[in-house]
């Protein structure tokens, strides 16, 4: 079950990053913020071959796109792969601005953590997400 805070925090994260490059990256970034940095996101993550993934986060992104708060643009990489990049729309930026001060007050580390994540490569964030503790299936694997 997600809450209004999840929506506001997610918008704040994307707003701080300006652009999030890729569906995989947004998954891994939010996972790191939740499990490593203890930002209280309610998205459930499960571990699979490609690292932690949250279906509820993916669905929330779809809701934000449908509501015109977020845009999804496709970038074709040199490898020929297509990447989905996420940016706030004008309406999304308004929501970001309206809640910015409150979020910075309640979660003073979120902005710096978000900006730091933006500088890492996709391989780095994937490795970090795979090493997070607190995801039930990942913890069991490590225990073995």
Partner 1 sequence: MPHWLVGIKDEQAIRRMISIRQLGLKAYMDFPGAIHTRYSHALGTMHLAGKMTELLSSKVNSKQGIVKNLKSNKDNIMAAGFFHDIGHAPFSHAADYVMKTITGKSHEDMCGDILKQIIPSEIEKCGINKDTVINMVNPKDDKYQFLSQIINSPLDCDKLDYLLRDAYHVGLKYSFDLDLFLRSYTIIGNETSINECILGLDSTQQAVITTELFVVIWKSMYDLVYLIQDSRIAEKMLEKAFLLYRDYEEIKCLFELQTFIKGNDESMLVTLRGIGTDTQKFLAMDNPKRLYQVALEKELREKDYKMNASFMAKLHNDVDALSDELSIKLAETLEKEKYDFICDIIKSKTPNKINLDSSKKGEEELRMRSDIVRIIKPKIVMKVYANAEVLHSFEKKKIQEAIKHLVEDYT
Q: Which of residues 87 and 89 has its CB atom nearest to partner 1 in the complex?
A: 89
Q: How far is the CB of 53 from partner 1 (least distance, A)?
A: 8
User: CB-wise, 90 or 108, nearer to partner 1?
Assistant: 90
Closer to partner 1 by CB, 21 or 84: give it. 84
| Cβ distance to partner 1 smaller for residue 42 or 111 | 42
In whole angstroms, how close is the CB of 4 to partner 1 at the nearest point? 4
The tokens 């669905």 sit on which residue?
A: 59
CB of 18 vs partner 1, minimal distance in Å? 19
Q: How far is the CB of 55 from partner 1 (least distance, A)?
A: 7
Q: Which residues bind partner 1 (CB under 8 A)?
A: 1-8, 11, 23-24, 46-50, 53, 55-56, 58-60, 62-69, 74, 79, 81-84, 89, 91, 95, 136-137, 141
Residue 70: left (phi > 0), alpha (psi -120 to 50), or beta? Answer: beta
């Amino acid at each position: 079950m997600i809450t209004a805070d999840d929506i506001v925090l997610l918008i704040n994260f994307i707003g701080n990053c300006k652009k999030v490059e890729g569906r995989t990256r947004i998954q891994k970034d939010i996972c790191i913020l939740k499990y490593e940095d203890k930002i209280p996101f309610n998205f459930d993550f499960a571990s699979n071959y490609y690292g932690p993934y949250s279906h509820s986060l993916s669905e929330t992104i779809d809701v934000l796109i449908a509501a015109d708060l977020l845009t999804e643009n496709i970038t074709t990489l040199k490898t020929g792969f297509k990447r989905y990049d996420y940016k706030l729309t004008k309406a999304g930026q308004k929501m970001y601005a309206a809640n910015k001060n409150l979020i910075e007050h309640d979660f003073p580390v979120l902005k710096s953590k978000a900006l730091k994540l933006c500088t890492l490569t996709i391989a780095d964030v994937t490795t970090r997400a795979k090493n997070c503790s607190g995801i039930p299936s990942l913890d069991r694997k490590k225990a073995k």
